[in-house]
Amino acid sequence: MPDLTKKDVKHLMLFAGRSHPALAAQIASLLGTEIVPARMVTYANSEIYVRFEESVRGCDAFVLQAHTAPVNDYLMEQLVMVDALRRASARRITVVTPFYPYARQDKKHAGREPISARLVADMFRVAGATRIMTVDLHADQIQGFFDGPVDHLYGMPLLADYVHAKYSQEDLVVVSPDAGRVRTADKWSDRLGCPLAIIHKRRDPDVANTVAVHEVVGDIEGKTCLLVDDMIDTAGTICLAAEALKVKGAGKVIAATTHAVLSGPAAERLNRSAFEEVIVTNTLPIDPRVEIDKLTVLSIAPLLAKAIRAVFDDGSVAALMNEQ
């Protein structure tokens, strides 16, 4: 007689790449589990080897990787992990990528360009992923690039609750840094119950790729201006926006963004910027050598842990978002 006690017993297993061990440890703790031990090696020629040290047959696998620099190395590492799980007979494989790689390459702007965000989705699918979980995609349309479920989570509730608790709502104005982020800023405005302003950038017709004037649409005189965006990369655009707000009479300027990419001169620019505080989440690791006095980092781990638990239990991730 077969042993029916082991038939169709679901078990959750958490796997983590090498990019963000602190976030992985937080999520594991919240889930009440441990990260599956693995041997990961980068050979002298930069090829990556992965072998998991426990049986994964029939498991519900969640594969976490934060796509910080070097993005291509960590992307390949995650793909190799997914392939290893598929070949070892994992029942279901969910890619957990808090910051989706190549998300800014979501469409063609000119001929002979790739749509790299779609290519990444295709690679995950071919490797063996059955589901993707991510936070604040740069473009919503990326959800349609993957042929399977995509759990698109949002960092705004976490960030907004922090702002609500610390800053007076009477003086607060949500500001979109450009016309392209107005829809996002409008959601923030609804969440915080405060007015909305927009920065309109006019370019100098005589100098290529140069912003000549920042026009502010909305009343910001003496107000606490909250600039919102999905990411801070080199911080050039958002720091210029903060300066423009101060010139136009803002009392304080703060920023809230989900992804702290912080490339190149970002730290230097933020340290000498007009910002009073810059609030981010830990979807990406922040190099301990990067010192930004104005930076506040909130943990995205509770949100990811709840979403992972909901997927494992075949519950509603949408309902989870409505609770926030």
Alpha helices, H only, the chain: 21-31, 71-87, 116-127, 156-166, 182-192, 236-247, 266-271, 301-312, 317-323
List, in sequence order, every residue forming a beta bridge with 309; answer none if it has no partner. none
Alpha carbon 214 to its chain's center: 27
Task: Indicate whether this model's pTM tops 0.85.
Answer: yes
Contact residues for 103 (Cβ-Cβ < 8 A; gap 6+): 117, 137, 138, 139, 142
Domain 4-154+302-323 identical in fold to domain 156-299: yes
Residue 2's pLDDT is what? 46
pLDDT at 10: 83
Q: What is d(CA 196, CA 182) in angstroms, rounded to the nearest whole number?
A: 9
CB 96 within 8 Å of CB 303: no
For the cut 60, the answer to whether the pLDDT of residue 128 exceeds it is: yes
User: Using one digit for the tens of pLDDT, what is the confidence trace for 15-39?
Assistant: 999 999 999 999 999 999 999 999 9
Which of 8-17, 28-37, 212-221, 298-307 is least confident? 212-221
Report the alpha-carbon distance of residue 32 to residue 7 in Å, rounded: 23
- Looking at CATH, the fold of the domain delimited by 156-299 is given as Rossmann fold (3.40.50)
> What is the CATH code for 4-154+302-323?
3.40.50.2020
Residues 6+ positions from 283 with CB-CB distance below 8 Å: 23, 66, 98, 99, 135, 136, 155, 258, 259, 260, 300
201 flagged as catalytic: yes
pLDDT of the residue at 1:
45
256-273 average pLDDT score: 96
Give pLDDT tens digits for 280-303: 999 999 998 889 999 999 999 999
Per DSSP, the three-state class of 125 is helix
Active-site annotation holder among 6, 108, 201, 223? 201
pLDDT in tens, 95-109: 999 999 999 999 999
DSSP secondary structure letter of residue 35: B
Question: Above 70 in pLDDT, residue 138?
Answer: yes
Q: Is the per-residue pLDDT at 212 higher than 70?
A: no
Across all residues in the chain, what is the average pLDDT? Answer: 93
Query: What average pLDDT does the segment 117-146 reach?
Result: 97
The DSSP secondary-structure symbol of 284 reads S
Asked whether the predicted pLDDT for residue 179 surpasses 90, the reply is no
Domain ranges of the chain: 4-154+302-323, 156-299
Residue 37 to residues 18, 51, 56, 232: CA-CA distances in angstroms?
Answer: 12, 9, 11, 33
Q: Point out which residues pair with 131 in neighbouring strands.
A: 94
Confidence of residue 6 (pLDDT cuts 50, 70, 90): very low
